[in-house]
Structures are given as C-alpha cells and as structure tokens.
Structure 1
C-alpha cells in the first residue's frame, strides 16, 4: 500500500520535528533559569559588598560598657523558721491545764497575775478600760482558735493595745449548747506571759460569750 507508507513517513517526520522543538524549548528554559540564578547571585554579592563598605569603620562596644540585664533574685523564704514559730505557738499553750486554781472566786471567775492589783480588775469589770482590738473565734476549730489567740495576743502587744476582747461564743450553735471554746480560752490566757488579767465581758461587750483582757505594755 504505497499510500500507507507515505503517511507513516510523514507522521514520523512530524514526531521528529516536535521532539526537536521540545528539546530546544527545554534548553532555552534551562538557559533562562541559569541566567536568573546568576543575576540573583550577582545581586547578593553586590549587596554584601555594599554592607561591608558601610560597616567597615564600625567598632564593637567594649565589654565593660554593657548593661547587665540579670534581674535580682528574691530573698530566700525562711520557711523552716516560720514552721518553728508556728510549732512554738501551738506547744506553748495547753488545753489540759487546771485553770480553776488561778481564777478569782467571784461569779465571773476573773483572773489577775501576781503583782496586778485588784483595782485594775475592778476597772476592767466596770468597762473603764478602752477596748483597742478584738478577735472573734466563731467557726474555728480548737487548733485554729489556739493559734489565732496566740497570734492575736502577740500582735496586740506589738501595737501596744493594753485592753482587748476575745469573743469565744456562748455555745448556742454547738452540740449540747455548750460553749466549746470558753473554758479552753481561759486555760490558754492563764499560760500566756502577755496576759496580766481578764474577766467576763459586761453585757454590752458580749457578756458570757466574751472575755476582756489586760495585756502587758509594749517593751521598748
């Protein structure tokens, strides 16, 4: 079939021509990419040279002139000392001391340290001492109340508060309607050196639910 052979040769020539064109296009693209890379490298070198010219006379700052940016460290917390202080506060007051032998045999079961005149206690009962501060123990457990009382007495002496009030409650909200802290507070106060005298508060200051306490003067 002469016609078929002619058409086959024609197709082969066209394929060869297309293949040659594709190779030429690929070569041209590779040359273009190579030119772009060369131009980019040339520009990078030129910019680097410009930068070097501008900084060639710059000298680094001496080490001694640099500011220290280290932030100061906080002082250490004497946690062990705090724990020791808390332990001393708790151990310095007992719940089991027989307090009755220290109390005055009056209806208020008042207390005054040796060397404290009866007149000071009478003035306390009559409300002639000005109450400078107070603490309310309602809602505290025994251990919490013991620590709170010790800290309150210590702070009151530091502030030179000579007369303070401790509200221990009447026990109306406790089981059996008994005042849980009333007797314990008296035991604690008798054992504290800061306490010179105390008595049940008059009705206007809390009555059977509170104590008025005279503290020693602040030492200079």
Structure 2
C-alpha cells in the first residue's frame, strides 16, 4: 500500500472517531439570584406615594412586660368555702405550712422580719378586698418581698361589729401557695387589726 492510500485511511479513521463522540453541551452562564430578580423587575415602575398615613407612636406602658402576667388578678384559689367557718372570741390569726418549724411562727409574731410592704383594707368590702389582696401578693412576690403586713381593721365600723375581713383573710391566705405563714401583728405593728405574712423566698425556709 502506497503512502497516499495510507494517509487517506488515517484521515477517514479520524473523521469516523470524531462522529462517534457525542458533542458536549454548551455550559450555561452562571446567573445569581440578584441578577435574576433585577431581570424580572426590569419593567416594574414604582408607585408614586399618595395619601400616606403616618401611624402615631405607641406610648410605653408604665408596667414592665416581664411582670405583666404576674399582675393579673388571680382569685380562683381564694375561695370563701373553706373549713374555717368562724373565729373564736379573741382568736388570733395564726398559720404555718406543714414542714416549717414552729420557730418560724414565733419569729413572725415577735416581728423579727422587717416589713417590706403594706396593704390597708379599710373601707373595702369582701369583693374588692379579695382582688386587692391577690394583687398585693402578686406584686410583693414580684418585688421579692419577704414579710408583708395587711391591715384588715377590727370591724368596729361593720354592722355586726365583727372583723369580717379578718376571717376572710384567714381563709384566703391559707390557700395561697406563696404564703408560708401568717400571724396577728404584735402591739407595735398593728395588734389585732393587722396580720403579718411571711412569703416564699429563693432560699430554703426553716
């Protein structure tokens, strides 16, 4: 075979090999999202501002948001239907939760704890007093008060001359989870017209 025929065969083989290989697809240009958005919005025209309403700024509430839920009046656990129906003549308000030492009650009666907050119920009826006591307890817990005083009066202005709120307080406070103990105030802190209440703290009570 001469050189010319051999050269032709090589050229033919090369062409057949090129036809057998699939053509590679052309790579698409890389387009980012910003360019796509710009392309899609190219014909969009901005609206002219007309009759814009300026919203007034909201006034800040004087109550902190953290304590808003705690300030909700909760009186469901301050029922009047409680086993303590009456107070004996001259009976004092005394209560301590199970598990606490009786010395806790003695210290409370002596006035060993500093009074951190006070509520006066003079002029209140049963319904308004219940709400105020619930609010007062919630606020006292929020402020980390340890010992508080509630002045309920001696009932001299009531129709029967009986300390009605004194009995109600005995029932209400005994049902509250945050109340550890309460006792009638000593003569220097209100005597028979007030009660001292010991509240839960972050430390273990003894």
- TM-based fold match above 0.5: yes
Quote the residue 2:77 is aligned against.
Answer: 92
Which structure has the bigger radius of gyration? Answer: 1
Q: Does 1:177 align with 2:165?
A: no
Q: Give me the whole-angstrom Cα distance separating, in 2, the residues matched to 1:95 and 1:65.
A: 63
Indicate if the aligned counterparts of 1:167 and 1:211 stay in contact, CA closer than 8 A. yes
Q: Does 1:208 align with 2:192?
A: yes
Q: Give me the whole-angstrom Cα distance separating, in 1, the residues matched to 2:124 and 2:202.
A: 28
Q: 2:116 aligns with which of 116, 132, 141?
A: 132
Equivalent position SS for 1:183: helix
Compute the displacement of 1:63 (Å): 5.6
Quote the residue 1:119 is aligned against.
Answer: 103
Question: 1 or 2 for the larger relative contact order (CA 8 Å, sep ≥6)?
Answer: 2
What TM-score, normalized by structure 1, do the two folds share?
A: 0.58
* Deviations 1:138-183 (CA, angstroms, capped at 9, x unpaired): 1111011011101100110110001000111001111121111111
CA distance change for structure 1 residues 193 and 119 in 2, over 3 Å: closer, same or farther? same
Q: Give me the whole-angstrom Cα distance separating, in 2, the residues matched to 1:139 and 1:96.
A: 23
Q: Does 1:156 align with 2:149?
A: no
Q: CA RMSD in A?
A: 3.1
Quote the residue 1:70 is aligned against.
Answer: 54
Q: Give me the whole-angstrom Cα distance separating, in 1, the residues matched to 2:91 and 2:150.
A: 19
Equivalent position SS for 2:131: helix
CA distance change for structure 1 residues 155 and 218 in 2, over 3 Å: closer, same or farther? farther
Quote the residue 2:5 is aligned against.
Answer: none
Q: 1:166 aligns with which of 134, 146, 150?
A: 150
* Deviations 1:15-67 (CA, angstroms, capped at 9, x unpaired): xxxxxxxxxxxxxxxxxxxxxxxxxxxxxxxxxxxxxxxxxxxxxxx867899
Q: How many residues align?
A: 145
CA distance change for structure 1 residues 218 and 66 in 2, over 3 Å: closer, same or farther? farther
Structure 1: stretches of 5+ with no match in the other structure: 1-61, 76-81
| Bigger proportion of residues as helix | 1
Quote the residue 2:125 is aligned against.
Answer: 141
Structure 2: stretches of 5+ with no match in the other structure: 1-45, 60-68
